[in-house]
A and B are shown apart, each in its own frame.
Chain A
Amino acid sequence: SQTIHQWPATLVQPVGSPLSLECTVEGTSNPNLYWYRQAAGRGLQLLFYSVGIGQISSEVPQNLSASRPQDRQFILSSKKLLLSDSGFYLCAWSGGTTDTQYFGPGTRLTVL
């Protein structure tokens, strides 16, 4: 069966520090991968999605970036965090014969 992992689960970082969040998927190949951010009291905002290795599409211009170095690995990064980057970051994957997306457990990021 397929599983999706995210780490770390929680992170507290000072403003201006770098960021690296990792997401990996097991049990499937060539998945579509997604990074979402969920701010308090707001809906999910799609940040990036990828349909293959090295292929990244950005939905919202900001100081975040994403990379897909391997088929089932998706990384969200920042060189310098802002206070507004605080939120709950979710990774998801889709693929196969269904149109649904499967979500990871999320990373709670607090920027101080």
Chain B
Amino acid sequence: KQEVTQIPAALSVPEGENLVLNCSFTDSAIYNLQWFRQDPGKGLTSLLLIQSSQREQTSGRLNASLDKSSGRSTLYIAASQPGDSATYLCAVIPNYGQNFVFGPGTRLSVLP
């Protein structure tokens, strides 16, 4: 059974810092992996989706990498801003047609 973990559970950084959020999954045979953002009391917003054949995806200041063999993904945020403060969730689709398995999230606070 696929399980997804995220470290750290919470992170607080000063504005302007570059930071890395980590995601690990137990079964390396995945269909794709996705990073979501959740603001307090709100729904989830998709940030980046990486197909199993890809190594990374980039959107603006965000870069997500995927290493299937080690069961890991990282979300890199460059030049962090207070508006980046949110919970970031990693999710994996184990196989085509199956549903997402979500990690517990990392709560990020960027201090002005």
Contact = CB atoms under 8 A, between A and B. Distances in A.
Contact of A44 (B42, B45, B89, B93): B89
Per DSSP, chain B at the interface is strand
Given A43-B104, A43-B105, A100-B34, A49 B44 contact: no
B41 A108 contact: yes
A104 B44 CA distance: 8
A43 B89 CA distance: 8
A34 B99 contact: yes
Given A49-B99, A100-B46, 16 more contacts: A34-B99, A41-B104, A43-B4, A43-B102, A43-B103, A44-B44, A44-B102, A59-B99, A90-B43, A99-B32, A99-B34, A99-B93, A100-B34, A100-B49, A103-B36, A105-B42
Contacts, number: 47
A106 B43 contact: yes
A103 B45 contact: yes
B31 A42 contact: no
For the side of the interface on B, what is the size category? 20 to 34
Contacts of A92: 43-44
Q: Which of A44, A59, A92 has the most CB of B within 10 A?
A: A44
Nearest to B36: A103
A41 B99 CA distance: 21
Contacts of A42: 104
For the side of the interface on A, what is the size category? 20 to 34
Given A34-B99, A43-B89, A46-B99, A103 B104 contact: no
A92 B104 CA distance: 18
Contacts of A29: none
Contacts of B102: 43-44
Given A99-B49, A99-B93, A100-B34, A105 B100 contact: no
A98 interface: yes
Contacts of B103: 43
Interface in A41-60: 41-44, 46, 49, 59
